[in-house]
Structure 1
Amino acid sequence: MGKSQKKRSMRRHNPMRVPDSHLPRGLASASSTSSKTEAILPILQKVMESSDATERKWACVAVSNLIQNDPSTRRLLQGKNIVGALITRLTDSEEEVIVEAAGSLRNLCIDGGYDICAEMYNKNILVPWKTFIPKISNTLAQYLESPATTPEKARNLVYDFADNVITTLWCLSETSNKALNAINEIHLVPFLMSFLAARDKISLAPVTAAAHCLYVLTDDNYPAISDIRADAGYISCLLDIVRSTKALNGKAKVPLDPRSTTLKVLCSGILRNLSPLPPPTAASFVDIDKDIVLPLLQPVITPISLADASKVALELVEKQASEIQIENLSLEHAPKSDHKSQAELELERLEATLRTVQLALEILTGACATLPDPESDTEKGVENDGDHDGEDEDLEMDEADTDMQDDPSPINAASTSFLPTLLAPLLALVHPTSLSFPPLVTPSPHPPTTSALSAIHISALECLNNIFLSLATSPNPSVSADHDAGRKVWDEIWSALAVVGTETGLGQERRQEMWHVAVGVLWGIGNVWKGSLVPSEEQVKLLIQMCDATSDDAIRVKCIGTLECLAQHPQSIDGNRLISQYLLSILPSNGAPSPAGTEPLIQAASALIDIYSDENMPYDVNFRQGGYLARLASSVDDVKKAVRGIDRRKQGGRDLRRRAEEVRDNLVAFIQYRKDLGL
Structure 2
Amino acid sequence: MGKSRARRFKPVGYTPTAAVKMAAAPGEEDAAGSVQAEDLLQKLQSSSPEVREFACASISKIVQQKQVIPAFLQKDVVRCLGPLLLDKCMSVRETAAGALRNLSTCGGFEVCDDMVTRDIMTPLVALLRECSTGLDSNLEPATNSKDVKKNQVEDIANQTVNILWNVCESNSKALSIFNKENCIEIVIRCLSKFPSNLELAVSAAYCLQTVTEDNPELLASVDAAALQTLENVLMASATNMEMKLLQTLVAGTVWNLKDRIPVSCQADSINAMLRILAEVLSEDAGQFIIKMKEAESIRLRTAATDSEAEEAAANVEDASLNEDDRMVDGAVKEKNNADISDLIPVSDEELRQASFLLVAQKSALEMIVNMCCSDEPSDDEWEELSSSDESELCLEKAIDDAGQLMSPLCLSAEVHSALLNHFIPKKVLEKTRFPDDAALQICRNHSAWKPLITKMSTVQHRALTCLHNILSMLDIESLGGAAVLQELAQHLSELIFTQTDGPKRDEFLEAASSAVRALLQTMASKGIPQCLTPEQVMRFAEACVQSSNASTRVNAVSITGITGSVLAKGDNTAQTLKLIGNFLLGIAANDPSLVVSGGALDAIFDVFADGDEAEKAAVEIKLHQTLKKIQPAFKSKIRKEGREKYSTDQLCVLDNVKTNLRRFISYLETVEKKYKNCM
* TM-score (norm: length of structure 2): 0.72
| Paired residues for 1:313-328 under 5 Å | 320=315, 322=317
Whole-angstrom CA distance in 2 between matches of 1:419 and 1:664:
44
Post-superposition offset of 1:409: 6.3
Any conservation in 2 of the 1:426–1:460 contact (CA below 8 Å)?
A: yes
Indicate whether 1:600 and 2:605 are aligned.
no
Whole-angstrom CA distance in 1 between matches of 2:112 and 2:31:
24
**What is the DSSP-based 3-state SS (H/G/I as helix, E as strand, rest coil) of the residue aligned with 2:495?**
helix
Q: Judging changes above 3 Å, is the alpha-carbon distance between structure 1 residues 529 and 548 closer, same or farther for their aligned structure 2 residues?
A: same
**What is the DSSP-based 3-state SS (H/G/I as helix, E as strand, rest coil) of the residue aligned with 2:214?**
coil
Post-superposition offset of 1:58: 2.8
Post-superposition offset of 1:163: 0.7
Q: Judging changes above 3 Å, is the alpha-carbon distance between structure 1 residues 638 and 626 closer, same or farther for their aligned structure 2 residues?
A: closer
Post-superposition offset of 1:273: 0.6
Give the counterpart of 1:463 among 458, 466, 473: 466
For 1:493, the equivalent position in structure 2 comes to: 495
| Paired residues for 1:35-184 under 5 Å | 44=40, 47-65=43-61, 71=66, 83-140=78-135, 143=137, 156-184=151-179
Give the counterpart of 1:661 among 651, 659, 662: 659
Whole-angstrom CA distance in 2 between matches of 1:529 and 1:422:
21
Whole-angstrom CA distance in 1 between matches of 2:365 and 2:292:
22
Post-superposition offset of 1:582: 1.0
Whole-angstrom CA distance in 1 between matches of 2:351 and 2:36:
26
Post-superposition offset of 1:221: 0.8
Give the counterpart of 1:203 among 197, 200, 219: 197
Post-superposition offset of 1:175: 1.1
For 2:581, the equivalent position in structure 1 comes to: 580
For 1:624, the equivalent position in structure 2 comes to: 616
For 1:532, the equivalent position in structure 2 comes to: 530
- RMSD of aligned alpha carbons: 5.0
Aligned residue identity for 1:271: V
For 2:554, the equivalent position in structure 1 comes to: 557
Aligned residue identity for 2:516: L
**What is the DSSP-based 3-state SS (H/G/I as helix, E as strand, rest coil) of the residue aligned with 1:211?**
helix
Give the counterpart of 1:262 among 234, 242, 245: 245
Post-superposition offset of 1:164: 0.8
Post-superposition offset of 1:94: 1.6
For 1:506, the equivalent position in structure 2 comes to: none
Give the counterpart of 1:352 among 327, 349, 356: 356
Q: Which of the two has greater helix per residue?
A: 2
Give the counterpart of 2:545 among 544, 547, 550: 547
Post-superposition offset of 1:87: 3.1
Q: Judging changes above 3 Å, is the alpha-carbon distance between structure 1 residues 218 and 474 closer, same or farther for their aligned structure 2 residues?
A: farther
Post-superposition offset of 1:272: 0.7
Post-superposition offset of 1:513: 3.4
Post-superposition offset of 1:236: 2.9
Any conservation in 1 of the 2:161–2:203 contact (CA below 8 Å)?
A: yes
Any conservation in 1 of the 2:394–2:652 contact (CA below 8 Å)?
A: no
| Paired residues for 1:75-474 under 5 Å | 83-140=78-135, 143=137, 156-200=151-195, 202-228=196-222, 231-244=223-236, 246=237, 255-279=238-262, 282-283=264-265, 285-286=266-267, 288-289=269-270, 291-306=271-286, 309=289, 320=315, 322=317, 343-344=347-348, 346-369=350-373, 371=374, 388=392, 395-397=399-401, 399=403, 408=409, 420-428=425-433, 449=452, 452-471=455-474
For 2:325, the equivalent position in structure 1 comes to: none
Post-superposition offset of 1:99: 1.3
Whole-angstrom CA distance in 2 between matches of 1:446 and 1:71:
23
Whole-angstrom CA distance in 2 between matches of 1:324 and 1:186:
40
Any conservation in 2 of the 1:160–1:206 contact (CA below 8 Å)?
A: yes
**What is the DSSP-based 3-state SS (H/G/I as helix, E as strand, rest coil) of the residue aligned with 1:101?**
helix
Q: Judging changes above 3 Å, is the alpha-carbon distance between structure 1 residues 77 and 407 closer, same or farther for their aligned structure 2 residues?
A: closer
Whole-angstrom CA distance in 2 between matches of 1:152 and 1:656:
63
Any conservation in 1 of the 2:112–2:171 contact (CA below 8 Å)?
A: no
For 1:250, the equivalent position in structure 2 comes to: none
Q: Which moved more, 1:443-452 or 1:126-135?
A: 443-452
Specify every segment of 5 or more residues in structure 1 that has no aligned partner in the other structure, as ranges: 19-26, 247-254, 328-337, 375-379, 503-510, 589-593
Q: Judging changes above 3 Å, is the alpha-carbon distance between structure 1 residues 572 and 273 closer, same or farther for their aligned structure 2 residues?
A: farther
Residues 401-445 of structure 1: CA deviation (Å, up to 9, x unaligned): 8xxx67656998966755532343321367899979x99xx9976
Whole-angstrom CA distance in 2 between matches of 1:178 and 1:445:
38
Aligned residue identity for 1:426: K
**What is the DSSP-based 3-state SS (H/G/I as helix, E as strand, rest coil) of the residue aligned with 2:501?**
helix
Whole-angstrom CA distance in 2 between matches of 1:431 and 1:660:
47
Q: Which moved more, 1:665-674 or 1:259-268?
A: 665-674
Post-superposition offset of 1:79: 7.0
Whole-angstrom CA distance in 2 between matches of 1:543 and 1:339:
39
Specify every segment of 5 or more residues in structure 2 that has no aligned partner in the other structure, as ranges: 13-22, 144-148, 298-311, 323-341, 378-383
Any conservation in 2 of the 1:605–1:667 contact (CA below 8 Å)?
A: no
Larger relative contact order (C-alpha < 8 A, sep ≥ 6)? Answer: 1
Aligned residue identity for 1:183: F
Post-superposition offset of 1:350: 3.4
Q: Judging changes above 3 Å, is the alpha-carbon distance between structure 1 residues 433 and 100 closer, same or farther for their aligned structure 2 residues?
A: farther
Post-superposition offset of 1:455: 3.8
Whole-angstrom CA distance in 2 between matches of 1:216 and 1:340:
23
Whole-angstrom CA distance in 1 between matches of 2:657 and 2:577:
25
Post-superposition offset of 1:136: 1.4
* TM-score (norm: length of structure 1): 0.72
Identity over aligned pairs, percent: 19
Post-superposition offset of 1:32: 3.2
**What is the DSSP-based 3-state SS (H/G/I as helix, E as strand, rest coil) of the residue aligned with 2:284?**
coil
Whole-angstrom CA distance in 2 between matches of 1:390 and 1:293:
39
Post-superposition offset of 1:361: 1.7
Post-superposition offset of 1:165: 0.7
